[in-house]
Structure formats: structure tokens, C-alpha cells
Amino acid sequence: MEIIMSVLIGLLFMAAVYLMLSKSLIRIIIGTGLLSHGAHLLLLTMGGLSGDAPPVVADGVSVADYADPLPQALILTAIVISFAVTSFFLVLAYRAYQELGTDNMDLLRGTEDHE
């Protein structure tokens, strides 16, 4: 199972890198979304995928059957953080499109008094 997940995560990272290297800003933001999905799945996989029972204390479940609760808490934290950053980034991209009139990263280079 871990092998399959690793391959999937690798594909997600690959797609993210491809999208982030493109010119259009919205494709870059989609790339960051895929990148954080990959990172979160990686966190889940690296915690180990053994254990079927959800990490809630219940009768008749031995310790070995529980899924590791720590990576789940870490993922939850990382999700809300990347959610906040992504929403900020989307608004920034919208504002930049309004002010600068382009979403092409090639046209966003340099400074006014470029030397």
C-alpha cells in the first residue's frame, strides 16, 4: 500500500512542478494546491498505513489496531495553513490582475528603474 501511495505522491509532485513552471498565474496556483496535497499525503503515508481502527478510544480494540493519530493531527494543521495561504494567494492574484492587467509571469519581471 505504501508503495502505491508513494508513486501517487510522486505523480502529484511531478504535476505540481510542471504546473508551477508554466507562465499563467492561475496554473501556478493550481500547482501549489497539488503540491500541498502531495505533502499532506506524504505525511499520512510516512506515519505508516497500518491499523484499521480510527484513533478514537473504543472497547475491544487493541493498541496495534489503531491508526497513528499524530500524522492526522499534523495534516489537519498543515491543511488549514495551506488553505489560508492559498486563499491569500488567490486574492493577491486577483488584485494583481486588476492592477497590472496581466497574469503572464513573463510580463511580471524586473523593476521600473531597471538597470
Residues of the shown chain interacting with another protein in the complex, contacts defined by CB under 8 A = 20, 25, 28, 32, 35-36, 38-40, 42-43, 45-48, 70-71, 74, 77-78, 81-82, 84-85, 88-89, 92-93, 95-96, 99-100, 108, 111-113, 115
Beta carbon of residue 74, minimum distance to another protein (angstroms, whole number):
6
Q: Which is nearer to another protein, 11 or 70 (CB)?
A: 70
- Expressed in angstroms, the distance from the first to the final Cα of the chain is 54
The three-state DSSP-derived secondary structure of the chain is CHHHHHHHHHHHHHHHHHHHCCCEHHHHHHHHHHHHHHHHHHHHHHCCCCCCECCCCCCCCCHHHECCHHHHHHHHHHHHHHHHHHHHHHHHHHHHHHHHCCCEHHHHCCCCCCC
Beta carbon of residue 63, minimum distance to another protein (angstroms, whole number):
15
Beta carbon of residue 88, minimum distance to another protein (angstroms, whole number):
6
Beta carbon of residue 109, minimum distance to another protein (angstroms, whole number):
8
Across-strand partners of 66? 53
Q: Which is nearer to another protein, 58 or 73 (CB)?
A: 73
Q: Which is nearer to another protein, 10 or 54 (CB)?
A: 10
